[in-house]
Structure 1
Amino acid sequence: MIRKISASCLLLLMLFLHLEMAYASERVVLLSVPSDIWYKRVYLIADKKSWMDFENFTVQIGDRGEIVYHFPNWYHGKYDPVLYYEDINGDRLEDVIVVLNNDRAGIGTSLKDIHILNQIQDPFLRYKEVPVEPTDLTMSRLVKLERHGNIVIILADKEEYKIDISKYHFTNSRKPYLGMDTIEYSIENGTLNGTVNAYVVRDDSVYGGLLGHLTIEYFWDGKMYKAKSITFKQNEPEKIRNTSVSPIEETN
């Protein structure tokens, strides 16, 4: 009886491991960009390691698989990835832009990984991965934060913005900071943009009160996508709701 139970357990264990291995090697198409022209269809393919972990990426251009680029070091976890196929450097050739969520990043590191494949001007429609200026370098180069009493001063691209934080009703507000780990990327009118939120530390020095957001506009300088300009938009303070109750009028 003991031998039969052991054999059954061993069989179940082998079946479980087989299913795990099969699931770990599942190849999926995460995203695609449709087109009426077959060689302009773009596919983002990866190994599905779990319900939220994806590794070993491939970017395929066209339905026939003639143009395929492998990126074994890319990683994505949680939330949704983003895939664009647009010209963002002004050469009239569509570029591939992939935004992944790196929830394994350390503290102070961006949770968004952006990868750009610039299309090269040649008969073979080749692509080349090019860098984007790191967010921390952009902020140190173009943004400064100061606080004087209740006034927070944001100097963005030589433009000065003054914010009275007393209007926000933050509890125990302290040092202002930029949430560079939560940068969001988007493309508008053929231009790559990045959005970084500006906060002030409040309460227990962990939670941040939102002051507004900085929008970075990137351009292609021939070697990388670099910040061209930064603008700030203030978040309107929420009005305190009037919780007082009006007295009930006496009726005759």
Structure 2
Amino acid sequence: MTARVEPFIYKIPPLGHRPSLGAHRGQMAGSGQLFTRHDSLLARPDPRRLDLRASALDPFGNYRVKVFQQHTQLPVVLIADLSASMRYQGKHSRQQALADFVLSAALSATQTGDSFTFIGCGKKLERQWLLAANRSVGSATELAQRLAKATFTSQAESLWQLSPVLPSKRSLLFLASDFYMPLGKISALMAQLTQHIVVPVVFWDESEYQALPDWGIVKLKDLESGKTKTLLLRPNYKCRIIEAYTQRKLELQKAFRSFGVEPLFIIDNFQAQRLTAYFHKLAG
């Protein structure tokens, strides 16, 4: 585990009507602290919220009460690709970056008063990689430690079998992967998640493209198939590889934006402030 994992701050658009109180702005009027408007005492018969000044200024002589916005809870769910490619070791360990993200997300949810759920997807959904909704930092810490040491050997086929384990309530859903999969499969994956607020988090490493040498022989190994490929690198070939990653980034952005979501690219190691900046930008 990285020496110190920090939480991040997530802000989301106003939520729909839900009964549980929490830290997020909802659409339901209630006993929150954010003043929204005045209403008549007849419409909202709560004398505790009576505003004498607004009542005195009412041209029709009606009593006016203050209406506050109800705050809600938002379950946080992290779905992680546990395929073999997620144990890539370059400038940094992708597996360690994922483990740090899991702990950071759990800390963030707990700090905000929300629950945290983890769903790890390998060839099939295994109980050892499922963490039910809870507010225990200890459980998340233990999970992150196991993730950092595990050996992922298969493809993440269970990503397309999520329906039985997804929460029924609208949730903030992080989707963590390197997304080295066909765009059609990404669309099929996103189609399962349309009722949730989805944040795709793309884990890449500069050593995969930017840090390659201009000249030399490089052996590449496909972690999922086990096949190796030998390349004779030269400046033009390296440029083509970089261009391919640039094009892939554009394709991923287009694929996710077609579902109304913006992907976040985590290059090399995980940094919580990147998530805070992402949500700050979304909030406008």
Structure number, greater radius of gyration: 1
**TM over 0.5, shorter chain:** no
Higher strand share: 1
Question: TM-score scaled to structure 2, two decimals?
Answer: 0.19
Question: TM-score scaled to structure 1, two decimals?
Answer: 0.21
